[in-house]
Structure 1
Amino acid sequence: MLIAQISDTHLAPPGQRTFGIAPTAEYLARCVCHINALEPQPDLVLHTGDVTNNGDLEASKHAAKILHALKAPLAIVPGNHDRRDTLAAAFGPTICPQGPDGLIQHDIRLNGLRLLGLDTVVPDAPGGAFDEARAAWLEARLQEDPATPTVLFMHHPPARFGVIETDLDGFAGRERLAEILARHSQIFRIVAGHIHLASFTEWQGTTISTAPSTGMRLYLDLTLRRSAYILDAPAYQIHLWLPEEGRLVTHTVRVLAEEPLHPFAPEHR
């Protein structure tokens, strides 16, 4: 089974570039075309937030128009640049299901794997949060089924990655999430976005992976002095689920303008 993950698309309204520079709509459309050409096709596409750059309805509708071209089903969790109301209005309840509390969260089962989408957004704040309401929702879902291997997907990674974008933004309630992970060993992976880089770390007995932005790659400054981005080839990730081994293998895919294939070695006959 294949799961594609896109993140941090940061779309502006139609006809505009993000920050006046980045052609984010073009980058996203190229990723969608690339995903649609994959063989085999993904069973699911996750978008881990920051669908838009400023949360307005026109940008959300613009993103929806591009993403509706995906052949595979789509599930979205919001990022700190998004607004829940405009995402829900643009994408509808299947892609952006809202609970009574307004949070956009998911409970998806596919081929022996469970994917729980967490809404980590705090309105008008850059950092993430995991409060008691979110904890209660997650605890209830996990207690329903302690045996099925489970992946959490969210915008903000709960661990520090040594880069300014996440370390200074923060993640309120990470200790509470760590407590839940310690009691529920079925969670073996967290997939996130936010830092605009393909990165991995171990945290609280599980692995956290972050997907790159579809085009605005973070300039990696480990001194934590500067926040900047680089216009890069569009990119996304593919997660290959190996049920017989209980493992998720992650590949980062860069979408180049031309992709000629060159054999490593002559074929042996």
Structure 2
Amino acid sequence: MLIAHLSDPHICPEGELYQGLVDSNAMFVAAVAHVAALRPQPDVVLITGDLIDDGSPASYAHAKKLLAGIKQPLLLIPGNHDEREAFRDAFADLGYLPASGPLHFVADHYGPVRIVAVDITVPELHHGDFDTAAAAWLEQALAADPQRPTLVMLHQPPFASGIAYIDLYACHNGPRLAAVIARYPAVERVVCGHIHRFMQLRFGGTLLCTAPSTTTAIALRLQPDAEEASYIEPPAMLLHHWKEDTGLITHWLPIGEFPGPLPFA
């Protein structure tokens, strides 16, 4: 099973630039084309939040046009730049978003890996929160099929990355999430967005990784007093490859055209 994982495209209304500087829309079009060129084709595509930048209906309308280039089943969760009710309305046709409350869902019919999505966004704020209600929901979802390989997806990472200016907006109550995950060894991976960089660490007895953005990368500045900044680094995505003999393998893939292929390995 192949799971393509995009994150944080920050799609803007047609003709507008992200932060007034970066053509995030064109960069997302390139990411969609990159997914379409993968061989073999992914079975499903994930986007872990911040689909759009301003929460507006115009941005969601443009996002739907750009997403039409993805032919695989598409699993979406909101991020802090999304607006929950506008997100729900825009993607009600996908059939898996609940009619009210947080946008949690379970997708278990695309292959051997079950995908469990947890909406930890806090409306009108930028941090996330794995509160007691989210914990109860996730516990029930994991307990429903505890032996099946599972990937859990959310937006804000539930740990301190060391980048002080983005850690202000992490997911609160990370230890609560880790405790739930630790009770279910079949959770192969916890995946997040938000941080616009690839990071990997042990979490709750499994592996957690963050996805790069399809647009700008948040600067890796580890000084506690560093000023916030971003760079236009090569955009990238993740590809999670489930194999029966190895479990889940996660690949970091740059998006774009590069010299090659060269006739050696």
Counterparts of residues 1-269 of structure 1 (less than 5 Å)? 1-94=1-94, 97-101=97-101, 103-109=102-108, 110-224=110-224, 225-245=226-246, 247-264=247-264
Give runs of ≥4 in structure 1 deviating > 4 Å.
Answer: none
Query: How many angstroms apart in 1 are the aligned matches of 2:164 and 2:216?
Result: 15
Query: How many angstroms apart in 2 are the aligned matches of 1:78 and 1:138?
Result: 17
| Runs of 5+ consecutive residues of structure 2 not aligned to the other structure | none
> How far did residue 65 of structure 1 move?
0.8
Query: How many angstroms apart in 1 are the aligned matches of 2:154 and 2:72?
Result: 19
Q: Identity across aligned pairs (percent)?
A: 36
CA contact (8 A) 2:84 2:123 kept: no
CA contact (8 A) 1:45 1:72 kept: yes
* Aligned positions, number: 263
CA change 1:105–1:259 in 2 (3 A) is farther
Normalised by the size of structure 1, how large is the TM-score? 0.92
| 1:87-133 CA distance string (max 9 Å, x none) | 222222426612432x1122112322111001010012111111121
- Greater mean alpha carbon deviation, residues 158-167 or residues 9-18: 158-167
| Runs of 5+ consecutive residues of structure 1 not aligned to the other structure | none
Query: How many angstroms apart in 1 are the aligned matches of 2:42 and 2:11?
Result: 23
- Give the superposed CA RMSD: 1.6
CA contact (8 A) 1:116 1:153 kept: yes
Query: How many angstroms apart in 2 are the aligned matches of 1:46 and 1:182?
Result: 23
Query: How many angstroms apart in 2 are the aligned matches of 1:39 and 1:136?
Result: 39
Query: How many angstroms apart in 2 are the aligned matches of 1:167 and 1:17?
Result: 25
Aligned residue for 1:111, secondary structure, equals coil
CA contact (8 A) 2:49 2:82 kept: yes
